[in-house]
Each structure stands twice: as C-alpha cells, then as structure tokens.
Amino acid sequence: MAIKYEFIKQCKQSGARLGRVHTPHGIIETPTFMPVGTQATVKTMSPEELKALDAQIILSNTYHLFLRPGHEIVKKAGGLHTFMNWDRPILTDSGGFQVFSLSERRKITEEGVEFRSHLNGEKLFISPEKAMEIQNALGPDIMMAFDECPPYPATYEYVKQSTERTSRWAERCLAAHQRKHDQGLFAIVQGGMFEDLRVQSAKDLTSMDFPGYAIGGLSVGEPKHLMYEVLDYTVPHLPFDKPRYLMGVGSPDALVEGSIRGIDMFDCVLPTRIARNGTTMTSQGRLVIRNAKFAEDFGPLDPNCDCYTCKNYSRAYIRHLLKADETFGIRLTTYHNLHFLTRLMKNVREAIMNDCLLDYRDQFFAQYGLLDN
C-alpha cells in the first residue's frame, strides 16, 4: 500500500480530524493545503522557498505535462521529483478537469475524451488507460483517477450518466494502474449537487477499495453553501481511515469550513493566481496592493504575518514593484499568499488538537471580515 492514512485525533467540537498521510516521499500533516504547480513549477517559487513556507506536498497536472513537454521527457528525466528538484510528495490531477475546462472541441465517449490541444489545436485523446500511462511516467506519490467533472449547473440526467461513467472509468484506472514507484491512486467522487448520485458514486468507488478518495465536481461556480451541503451528505459515505481530498478549494473560509466537515487535503490555484494580479490575503481580509492608498504605506502586507515578505518589505515597495512590472513583486505576493494558507492550516491543526475549531472559525472570520457581510 503506497499511501497510508494515520488517524491521530477527532476534534470534539467539529467533524474535523488530525491525521498523517504517509507517502514514499514523506509524511503530510492533515488537514493540509497543497500549492498548485501545474506545469512542474509553483509559479515563481523555488523548491527552497516552498519548503521555507512549509509546503508539504504540491500538485501538478497530467493534462498540461502531456501536452508540454510530454510525459516521455519527464520519464527520461527520472520522473517529476527529479525533473523539478522537489523531494517531498507530489500529487498529479488526472486531466479530468483540465481537458473539460481548457481544451476546445472535445468529444466524450465511453472510451475517453477526444479534444484539441489549447496550445496548438492538435487532435488528442485521453482515456482512463492513457491517463494512467501518463501519470505512471510522471511518477507522483498520489495519482488521480480519470473522471469527468460535470459543468455547473447540469441536469440530473446528465450528471447521472456522467457519474456512472466516471465510476466505470475508475474501475479501468484501477485495472491499468501499474503501481510503479509505489504510487497511490485516489478515486474521485462525483454526483453534482444531487444527494442520491453523490451517495451512489461514493458507494461505487469505496467498493473498489482505493487508498484515498477525492470529492470532485465542486468549486465549479456553485454557491458556497451548496458546496458545504454536498460535503455534509457525501463525507459520511467515505471511509474514516482513508484521506479525503476536496479538489479545487482554496479560499480561507472554504478551507476552514471544509476542515470542519472532515476534509483532509485541499488544493487551489487561487493564492498563486490572485498574487500575480496583486491581490493578497491578510488576516483582515483581501488587500489589493496596487491600490493608490498604499503608495506611502511603509508597513507590512499583514501586521500579523511573520513571513519573509512581511518581515522585510513594505506595502509601498511591493506596490511599486507591481506597478513597474518587476517580477520580484509577484514573487513576494505569491510567497506571502502561500504562507498565509499554510499558516492557516497549521492554526486549524492546532485548533483540532485543542478541540476548539469552531471557536477558531468564529475568531478567524470576525477578523477576516467575512462574518459581517
């Protein structure tokens, strides 16, 4: 068993739990946030900086690396860890989401998905077996089954057909899984916003005994309360002794609410993507540093943050760099946003240890200014 979940403690105040995910490249303390490194790099960050901000595991993408540079090249390089000089755990998404959100003119059949590359229009095809071949070549510690993430909104009938196919595709992934490099394969629960389809999907997939389970099909534009509702009736159908991974979720409030509902792993492009347009996460809420009011503000981005950016640079300086299109500016905002989320998850783990995660949520949101809107 490549991936092993070690349950440590149940929070007495909420559905959250402390755990450890044991992988060939190290142990992940959960609940955890995974920075996204789509094309084999977490944009503008070096591995050393990622370690300094306590990134325990990073994500990369099958779809993007299949298109460029090609999984065969990564394989010849010795796999993703060697290629990108990252010796901690890596998780690769299967392409199930990207092929539907990025490519053009795609055609879905039982066999797989035919699509045109978003880079050069080349006609390509990914099947469950192909997704496994690519991920086996990339060599991550955790691979994701090839699935369809239905659009939102979608009809009950569409989601039913899609979810049943995703379960058949999961079976094909399990059959094709080579278990090279001792990799673990997680299944992805679908079912849209329909309780019976979510429960059916969870039952189908847990009967196939995967080492971990993701909840997909969320963070696709639905209202947040709907996402939390889906978690409330889906998580109870997942095994207690396996990791639960909520895909594509990364705003501070959703990380706390997801942890309260028993989620162990999260990923999202949000912190790195908004950093590149100068939006930063602070304990008082979002701060758009390009705003003129910060031109002569010589304080740190966040007075309550102890990260490298906040200890050494002022809002005025960072604003200047961004306005001058100086790359160092987005490196500083990216570092800070990632540190903010890894620090938030450390606080969540401490709150679980002290059985007070709901109190932590109220205190965090009061500060973060979410409760008052």
Catalytic site residues? 93, 267
Query: Which residues lie closer than 8 Å to 110 by C-beta, 6 or more apart?
Result: 165, 168
**Residues in a beta bridge with 17:** 10
Which of residues 18 and 142 has its CB atom nearest to ligand 2YW in the complex? 142
d(CA 258, CA 256): 5
**Interface pick for ligand 2YW out of 5, 83, 97, 360 (rule CB under 6 A):** 97
Q: Is 283 helix (H, G, I), strand (E, B) or coil?
A: coil
We find the least distance from the C-beta atom of residue 359 to ligand 2YW, in angstroms, to be 28
What is the DSSP secondary-structure string of 105-123? Answer: EEEE-SS-EEEE-TTT--E
The sign of the CA dihedral 50, 51, 57, 62 is positive
Rounded Cα distance, 146 and 370, in Å: 36
Q: Which stretch binds ligand 2YW (CB under 6 A): 69-77, 105-113, 127-135, 214-222?
A: 214-222
Residues counted in the chain: 373
Least spacing, CB of residue 180 vs ligand 2YW, in Å? 20
Residue nearest to ligand 2YW (CB): 248
Q: 10 vs 279, which CB is nearer to ligand 2YW?
A: 279
Closest approach of Cβ 42 to ligand 2YW, in Å?
15
| Interactions with ligand 2YW, residue window 34-93 (CB under 6 A) | 93
Please report whether residue 269 would count as binding ligand 2YW according to CB under 6 A: yes
Tell me the two tokens of residue 84: 């990108």
Cα 75 to the center of its chain, rounded Å: 23
Binding-site member from 14, 23, 44, 94 for ligand 2YW (CB under 6 A): 94
* Residue 274 binds ligand 2YW (CB under 6 A): yes
Contact residues toward ligand 2YW (CB under 6 A) are 93-94, 96-97, 144, 147, 149, 188, 216-217, 219-220, 247-248, 268-270, 273-274
